[in-house]
Amino acid sequence: MFAVVQFPGSNDDRDLVYAMKSVLGADARLVWHKESALPPETRGVLLPGGFSYGDYLRAGSMAQFSPVMADVRRFADAGGFVLGICNGFQVLCESGLLPGALVPNRNLQFICDFVHLRVEQAAAPFTSRTRVGDVLRIPIKHRDGCYFASEDEFRSLEENGQIVLRYCDAKGQVTANANPNGAVGNTAGVRNRAGNVFGLMPHPEHAVEPALGGTDGIAILGSLIDALGGAR
């Protein structure tokens, strides 16, 4: 069962359950942030997009202290798979489960658009359905999505293969023009050193049906389902 944590102000929580359950056939359930523990049958944790706590102070800064997050941290420390999308990525960075931080977009605008992403790491549990160099087309919708890490830290992230996705053009070229928000190294998705926690600004759950404009998000959500041995 995938636990989709619902914070006050989450707004992609139901879309994520829909993508996991109705499109991909996995067992996924909303878990309210005030729960003191994840349900015992939890096999993966998904932190959805939105504006938890209204983005007060800094995006994701308050949600890290929600009661259920202590158990999410234990789950992650024990090697459990945790995926954070958009606001979920911000929460993971703020809580220290992922390195770096997400700061306001360089142009200070809210951007809602399809972007292209170059796969830099194709491995379980989050990108096993892809190959390095694949180009995914998935939408972003954020104002605070500019990934930042200090020069030294970013170098070590690159050396350790923790940069999973980069913004690129339609041909897979990672260029300054293809960088929508000013993220260091065109970074769109990062994983932790152990590889069991992954955060990304683009929304795979919004690219799971042709009617939504594309289906490339399945490559990511489906990889996670595969990593847990199938849909249940």
Partner 1 sequence: MKAVIAVTLKPGVLDPQGQAIQRACTSLGYESIESVRQGKRFEVELEAASVEEARRLVEEISDKLLSNPVIENFEIESIG
Active site positions, annotated: 86, 203, 205
- Token readout for 4 is 């989709």
Q: Which CB sits closer to partner 1, 71 or 94?
A: 94
In the chain, the amino acid numbered 56 is: Y
User: Judging by DSSP bridges, how do beta strands 111-119 and 135-142 pair with one another?
Assistant: antiparallel
Q: In the complex with partner 1, which residue's Cβ is closer, 182 or 214?
A: 182
Q: Report the C-alpha gap between 142 and 212 in whole angstroms.
A: 18
Q: Which residue shows structure tokens 């234990």?
A: 74
What minimum distance in Å lies between the beta carbon of 162 and partner 1?
15
Contact call for residues 44 and 84 (beta carbons, < 8 A): no
**49 or 99, CB closer to partner 1?**
99
In angstroms, what is the minimal distance from the CB of 58 to partner 1? 6
Angle of CA points 165, 14, 205, to nearest 5°: 25
Binding site for partner 1 (CB under 8 A): 57-58, 61, 65, 93-94, 99-101, 103-108, 146, 148-151, 182
3-state secondary structure of 10: strand
Name the minimum Å distance from CB 102 to partner 1: 9
Report, in Å, the least distance between residue 101 CB and partner 1.
4
Are 51 and 87 in contact by the 8 Å Cβ rule? The answer is: yes
Q: Which is nearer to partner 1, 151 or 159 (CB)?
A: 151
